[in-house]
Structures are given as C-alpha cells and as structure tokens.
Chain A
Amino acid sequence: MTPFEAIAEDFASVDDQTRLELLLDYAQQLPPLPDAYHALRDAGLAMVHECQSPVFLMVEVKGDVVHINADVPEEAPMARSFTMVLVAAFHGASPEDVLQAPEDILHRLRIVSLLGMQRTRGLSAIYRRLKHEVARQIA
C-alpha cells in the first residue's frame, strides 16, 4: 500500500464528522516553510494561482526523490489541509509514484461532498501543479 493509499483508506473509513476532524488535523500539521524558501515565496514564485488564497507549492525532484515545501495561510485551512495530505503522501516519494498516483484524488479522500463542486477545483489545481512539476523536472 502506498502512503497515499493508506491516507485515502483513513479518509474512507470514517464518517463525515470525523473526516472533518481529520482534515483539521492535517491543516495543523503543515510545517512552517523553511527559511531557504522565503525569498522565493516573497517573490511570488511557485504560487498556485488557481487558488484564491496565496498557496506556495515548491516541488523539487532531487535524485530520485520528490521534495515538497509549501506555505498556505492560516485563514485557508482547507487548502492547508489538502497540501499537508500531499506532503504526507508524496514528500519523499519517487517521481514515478507521484505520476502514477490516481487523478481522482479528491474523490478518493471522500471530501467532494463536504466541499461541493464549487470548492474542489482550487484543490485540484494544487494537485495538478504537483504532478506537472514532477513531470516537467524529470523530462
């Protein structure tokens, strides 16, 4: 089972209320952005522009390992939470693991009904950015 599959299983095995708590749990755990990335963020690089809140997502493939460093405002806990899910699932994974991960990630996490379609697309954009960056860097 991949780390993402384990996370998806957690989300799938709980009721809506616990899923909400789980999302809050992830939102709290997004680590502070390391100092080395502050200049990039402040310069407006690596932003996921589809998100309404300023979401910084730095994806780096070093050797055969994907590194994710992110910064998401406290006022956008949903985007923070989803970003932390991606960090937990894919930070340290191989590029192939990221590229082969399922496309319908939001459905697998069972969060679409919680959000409604109008609110899922910013999150999808964060995920697309991850995959796109990995694909670009190994090309």
Chain B
Amino acid sequence: MTRRLFNPLLVVAAGMFAAAPILVALAPNEVTMGLVAKIVYFHVPVWFMMFLGVFICGIASGVYLFKDKQSADRLAVSAAELAVLFGLMGLTTGPLWARVSWGLWWPWDVRTTLALILELNFVAYLLLRKYGGPGSEKLAAGLALFGMFNVPFVYVSVNVWRTLHPETTVVPTLPGPMAGPFWWCVIAYLALFLVMLSGRRRLEEQRAIVDRLRLAHER
C-alpha cells in the first residue's frame, strides 16, 4: 500500500471504528441470547482479521522460503504480529460472551481449542523470530506455513464436530438489521488491519535500513 493511501485509510478506519458502537447499539437484540450477543459485531470480525493475518503471513513466508525475497519476510513478520493481536482480541471477547451464554468461560470444544492452538502457533513464530538467532527466519517461515494450513480446520470444525459454538451458517443468514452493522464492523476492522499492517511493515523497512547502515559502518 502506498504512503499516499495511508492517511486517507487511517481517517476512514478511525471514522468507521468510531461509528461502529452507535450502529451496534441501534441493532436489535438477538432472540435467544439477548444483549450479550452484540459481542458478535466485534468477535467475528476480529477472527476474520486474524485469519487474514495468518494467510498473509503464510503466503509471504512461502515466497520468502522459495524465492528468498527479504520484502516478503518483512511482510510476513508484520502480518504475524497482527494475527497474534487480533487473535488475542478474539480469545478475550469469546470467553466473555461464553460466560453469559453457555455459563462457562472456556468449553474446550473443537473450535475454541483449535483457535487457541492457532494463536499459540503464531506466538511461537514471533518468539522464534525474536530469540531464535541467525537462520530463525527460515524456520519461522515453515511454522507460518503450518499455521496457515490449520485455518480451514479451525473454520469448518463447527460444521464437522458437535460443539457449543455456532455454525458457519450464522453469518450468511443474519437478518438485515443485524447484517448491516455486522458488515460495517468487518469493513472497519479491515481498514484498521490494513493501516496497522502498513505501519508495521514500514517499521521493518526502517529497521532493515538501520541494519544495512550498521554493517556499512562496521566495514
């Protein structure tokens, strides 16, 4: 994303993000779960963004592994950090919803367990990048590919196995008054994700320049 798009996108993201609570407040309550079901307007979009971060990290890691492109590696580490951030948002909003709806904080069912494992996978990626030493970039890239291939299992788990978690048919069948705020929040989170990714990637580029200058100085 070019620098020219960054500022307009930041304004759009901030505006949409600020308007989201108003739209959510005006949306009707869900029939069986009541007020607490409004967590869906944040909980589901953050998991969409987590999956997006995982896919970007995985694909960029693949490009880095097979084509040795440093720019792909910088994109991968940026996306991994965002995947962990949005995953953390999902893993905190989910139990808050579950406590009221299901009566327990964490059910250890298939969906929640696989989602936790996916999050830990990318926490491991970041730890490997930070503390793994020389050559850890390639190792971490392999880990990112493994994480990316887990996403379909996380997504379809609710349809294949018996679980407390709602199935994937819920979002496509949301009624109009709920679908509008929901998709608004998805687009707001997408704009926020792109702004964060752009900023984080720029940070990696600056760090790469600092490293090159340090090497030139040492010579």
Do A and B come together as binding partners?
no
Query: Which residues of chain B have a CB within 8 Å of any CB of chain A?
Result: none
Query: Which residues of chain A have a CB within 8 Å of any CB of chain B?
Result: none
